Chain A
Amino acid sequence: MAERTRGESAREDQALTASGAPLGQARLTKGPAHAAPKGGAVRMQARWVHLRAFMENKLAVAGVTFVVLMVLFCFVGPLFWHTNQVTVAMFDLNRRPGGKHPLGTDDLGYDVLGRLMSGGQASLEVGIAVALIATGLGVIYGVISGYVGGITDAIMMRVVDIVLAVPVVYLFIDLAATFKPTLLLLIVVLALLSWLGPARLVRGETLTLRVREYVQAVQAMGGRSGRIIVRHLVPNTVGTIVVNATFQVADAILTLAVLSYLGFSLPPPAATWGGMLENGVNFLYDGYWWEIYPAGAMIVLTVVAFNFIGDGLRDAVDVRLQRR
């Protein structure tokens, strides 16, 4: 096994001194919202360092704002903007934006603004569900692999390598030719292919964490492996996990859009942003821009927003990068 000593362990140690508290405890809470009730003054202070670092990152704050607005737009919007997204309206095909349809209609007469909302629901649901499931699977797998070590680790990591070596989009095209996709199938398949990244990351962190003094102390005191994993190893990787989960949301939304373009998407009348884009592409030469660019903009802006949040979180967690 090649054990790498990149910047990681040094980074941990510096972070530990810079935040004035054991990093694991500082990282215990989820993301930037450090609202845990327990903890002394020192620990609170450490949390605020992260939160402040995150809030100072204007792009990250803009990302959070945008995601909140987007969730409201997709899930609350349809309550105020009633449109028919089920039956075809043959008299309202390809209407220009204006009047009853602020963003026009598509080639089946669906209102594009309303369709952006319903398409966004599917895209956001898939993105977030995939990130949660994949991260959960990846953390469990990675922490066990890293902690147990030895031959188990070698076998578990080769399994990851094998699945990772099979190209996702290639596999999906294959599946698309065979199965009829549903929302659940999309989530499951995407999640089954996305847990590998977090598994590797968490395993790497576990390798450096499991030889730490506090883990040895627990072992010396007779603490069982389960306790070490749940109370010490997993909480210490939360920073990495949360950052990665944010990127996972972005990646899942993007992969979903690419799959829709390649023909693996929810069957009509269900909408996804990628599906709208794929449909609109047919009208590139007709100049029906409203059937292409709004959906494209939605994908790009949402993915950008999640990436901004992820970057902001990473900078906030990595205290070493602050105050230079």
Chain B
Amino acid sequence: MISYIIRRLGQAVIVILGVTFLVFILRHLLPGSIARAILGLHAGPQAIADFNKANGLNKPLPLQYVAYLNQLIHGNLGYSFKQNMSVDSIIRNELPNDVLLVGASLVLSLLIAIPLGLLQAVKRNSITDYAATGISFILYSMPSYLLGLLLIAFFAVNLRLLPASAPNASTLGGVLSNPSGLVLPIATLTLVTCALFSRYMRSSAIDGLAQDYIRTAKAKGVGTSGILFKHLLRNSLIPVITLVGISLPGILTFGLIIEQLFNFPGVGLSYYTAALNGDYPVVYGITVLVALVTVLGNLFADVAYAVLDPRVRYG
């Protein structure tokens, strides 16, 4: 077990190194130099050469990559010349807001999706199942911004119940001081995530229902609730835990779109505006960060799977 976790950790490190390499290559492959993007169209050749020299961009690429890695290892994701701030401080300001948005949505969607999926699996092909499947299918098949738009159109434009955009603040305290603005973004992300999770929970529970241990439990005379909660739920939860780890990048992507739609002050919105403005250090810094979260999510999923499911062989 320990050796499996260590090996998995080693893989994660390799993947993270690979991602940094990919991002580094991308930065140099895309047309338009960094100096040009920062100094503007009117910068002369001398200014560009000076900038490159000052920032080590005139060195050979392998050396630049090593320098870049060295910065990353010391927790320095880059420096935004456009905003005159380090990427770290931009992220540090906004990450708590993202944790709030993603965390709240994740907890809510699990609270809804797990019982719902179980119910659907047990009452398979009933009207309840069809209705729930239908709704989650539609939510799942909807571009998340369309869902957000529908919620805005209904709750903000028609009913005038809730504000159409997130609180206009940059810190977590500021965001929390105006909770009504949080309702629609969190609701949108919850609904999208919930649709994804309940689908998996349903099929995982249906898979579980067909297993021999359920039949054995039935044959032994275990009651319905015993089968459901002692056998089915616990076994069906394992894939869902894995799913949470695996779908983190997807949720972050939804998050970006929702942040853009609701003007929610998070890392995703920063990324979007930075990409539009050609603020490359921010773009690549956040890409590395998101990739890191993705890798850690996968790592968590695999380790949790190995710990929770004794049937997994690792060796």
**Which residues does chain A contribute within 8 Å of B30, judged by CB atoms?**
174-175, 178
**Which residues does chain B contribute within 8 Å of A162, judged by CB atoms?**
15, 18-19, 22
Min distance, Cβ A216 to any Cβ of chain B, angstroms: 20
B15/A257 in contact, CB under 8 A: no
Scan B123-150; emit 1 where CB is below 8 A from any A CB, else 0.
0000000000000011011111110010
Does A140 sit at the interface, judged by CB under 8 A?
no
Q: How far is the CA of A175 from the CA of B312 in the complex (A)?
A: 40
Q: How far is the CA of A86 from the CA of B86 in the complex (A)?
A: 46
A274/B143 in contact, CB under 8 A: yes
B290/A7 in contact, CB under 8 A: no
Does A36 sit at the interface, judged by CB under 8 A?
no
Does A2 sit at the interface, judged by CB under 8 A?
yes
Chain A residue, CB-CB nearest to B17: A162
A254/B143 in contact, CB under 8 A: yes
Total number of residue pairs linking A and B with CB closer than 8 Å: 136
**Which residues does chain B contribute within 8 Å of A261, judged by CB atoms?**
143, 145, 257
Chain A residue, CB-CB nearest to B297: A165
Q: A257-B143, A274-B143 are in contact. Are A5 and B313 (CB under 8 A)?
A: yes
Does B162 sit at the interface, judged by CB under 8 A?
no
Q: How far is the CA of A165 from the CA of B315 in the complex (A)?
A: 25
Chain B residue, CB-CB nearest to A302: B141
B4/A2 in contact, CB under 8 A: yes
B8/A292 in contact, CB under 8 A: no
Min distance, Cβ A207 to any Cβ of chain B, angstroms: 12
Q: How far is the CA of A300 from the CA of B256 in the complex (A)?
A: 20
Does B206 sit at the interface, judged by CB under 8 A?
yes
Partner of A161, one of B15, B141, B149, B306: B15
Stretch at the interface among A130-138, A141-149, A224-232, A303-311: A303-311
Q: A158-B14, A261-B145 are in contact. Are A170 and B23 (CB under 8 A)?
A: no
Min distance, Cβ A36 to any Cβ of chain B, angstroms: 29
**Which residues does chain A contribute within 8 Å of B275, judged by CB atoms?**
173-174, 176-177
**CB-contacts of B1-25 with A (<8 A):** 4, 8, 11, 14-16, 18-19, 22-23
**CB-contacts of A159-183 with B (<8 A):** 159, 161-171, 173-178
Does A262 sit at the interface, judged by CB under 8 A?
yes
Scan B82-119; emit 1 where CB is below 8 A from any A CB, else 0.
00000000000000000000000000000000000000
**Which residues does chain B contribute within 8 Å of A168, judged by CB atoms?**
253
Classify the interface of chain A: helix, strand, loop or mixed: helix
B11/A307 in contact, CB under 8 A: no
Scan B173-216; emit 1 where CB is below 8 A from any A CB, else 0.
00000000000000000000000000000000011001100000
Q: How far is the CA of A170 from the CA of B292 in the complex (A)?
A: 14
Chain A residue, CB-CB nearest to B291: A165
Partner of A170, one of B14, B152, B211, B290: B290
Q: How far is the CA of A176 from the CA of B271 in the complex (A)?
A: 13
B23/A277 in contact, CB under 8 A: no
B249/A167 in contact, CB under 8 A: yes
Partner of B26, one of A174, A257, A307: A174
**Which residues does chain A contribute within 8 Å of B23, judged by CB atoms?**
166
Give the B interface residue count (CB, 8 A): 58
Scan A178-193; emit 1 where CB is below 8 A from any B CB, else 0.
1000000000000000
B257/A307 in contact, CB under 8 A: no
B290/A303 in contact, CB under 8 A: no
Does A284 sit at the interface, judged by CB under 8 A?
yes
Does B311 sit at the interface, judged by CB under 8 A?
yes
Q: How far is the CA of A167 from the CA of B287 in the complex (A)?
A: 7
Does A72 sit at the interface, judged by CB under 8 A?
no
B143/A321 in contact, CB under 8 A: no
B18/A158 in contact, CB under 8 A: yes
Q: How far is the CA of A257 from the CA of B140 in the complex (A)?
A: 14
**Which residues does chain B contribute within 8 Å of A238, judged by CB atoms?**
none
A170, A258, A281: most-surrounded residue (chain B CB, <10 A): A170
Chain B residue, CB-CB nearest to A2: B314
Does A38 sit at the interface, judged by CB under 8 A?
no
Min distance, Cβ B207 to any Cβ of chain A, angstroms: 6
B253/A167 in contact, CB under 8 A: yes
Min distance, Cβ B253 to any Cβ of chain A, angstroms: 5
B149/A281 in contact, CB under 8 A: yes
Chain B residue, CB-CB nearest to A303: B141
**Which residues does chain A contribute within 8 Å of B211, judged by CB atoms?**
7
Q: A166-B287, A170-B271, A284-B153 are in contact. Are A178 and B314 (CB under 8 A)?
A: no
A170/B256 in contact, CB under 8 A: yes
B141/A284 in contact, CB under 8 A: no
Q: A165-B294, A170-B271 are in contact. Are A262 and B257 (CB under 8 A)?
A: yes
**Can you name 19 A-B pairs with beta carbons within 8 Å?**
A2-B313, A3-B315, A158-B14, A158-B15, A158-B18, A159-B18, A161-B18, A165-B18, A166-B19, A166-B287, A170-B290, A174-B26, A177-B275, A258-B257, A261-B145, A263-B276, A304-B141, A307-B140, A320-B210
9 extra interface residue pairs, beta carbon distance < 8 Å, beyond A2-B302, A178-B30, A300-B142: A2-B306, A4-B305, A7-B211, A166-B287, A167-B287, A170-B271, A261-B145, A261-B257, A304-B138
Chain B contacts to A: CB under 8 angstroms:
4, 8, 11, 14-16, 18-19, 22-23, 26, 30-32, 137-138, 140-146, 149, 152-153, 157, 206-207, 210-211, 249, 252-253, 256-257, 260, 271-272, 275-276, 278, 283, 286-287, 290-291, 294-295, 298, 302, 305-306, 311-315
